[in-house]
Amino acid sequence: RAAHGHVEVVHGVSFSVGKGECVGLVGGSGSGKTTTGRCVTGLHSNASGSLLFEGHSMPFAVSSRSKADLSAMQIVFQNPDRSLNPKESIAQSIARAVRLTGLADRARVG
């Protein structure tokens, strides 16, 4: 337990994502995957530390982010019925998320 009644859930996380790369967080139940993803995408503002995006510091709170920053990243929540479907390629799984967010039209994505 940390000071002031806060509980440290995830600590010491550091990773880098290059332009055009896609990252998947993998780990056991309760390892902090969802919390980490929510912090990066601004859905969990009760965080500390630093978040750098394209060379600038980004606030944890989604309400404090610029429109450009908000449109630059997207979280794809796990859907147990469709995630890692052995009948689909990784490209098909990612294409579905891209279509749903409106980042590309069906003709471009497939």
With respect to residue 71, please indicate whether it lies within any of the assigned structural domains: no
Kindly report, residue by residue over 11-65, the tens digit of the pLDDT. 888 888 887 787 777 888 888 888 888 888 888 867 888 888 888 898 988 888 8
Q: How confident is the model at residue 89 (pLDDT cuts 50, 70, 90)?
A: confident
With respect to residue 45, please indicate whether it lies within any of the assigned structural domains: yes
Task: Give yes or no: residues 30 and 83 share one domain.
Answer: no
pLDDT (0 to 100) of residue 107: 59
Q: Where are the alpha helices (DSSP H) in the chain?
A: 33-41, 67-72, 90-101, 106-109
Task: Give yes or no: residues 56 and 81 share one domain.
Answer: no
Q: Compare 85 and 49 and report the one with higher pLDDT.
A: 49
Task: Give yes or no: residues 54 and 82 share one domain.
Answer: no
Report if pTM > 0.85.
Answer: no
First to last CA, the chain: 48
Cα 94 to Cα 76: distance, rounded to the nearest angstrom: 9
Mean pLDDT of the chain, nearest integer: 77
Task: Give yes or no: residues 10 and 54 share one domain.
Answer: yes
* Count of domains for the chain: 2
**Domain span holding position 60:** 1-65
Task: Give yes or no: residues 81 and 52 share one domain.
Answer: no
Cα 83 to Cα 76: distance, rounded to the nearest angstrom: 10
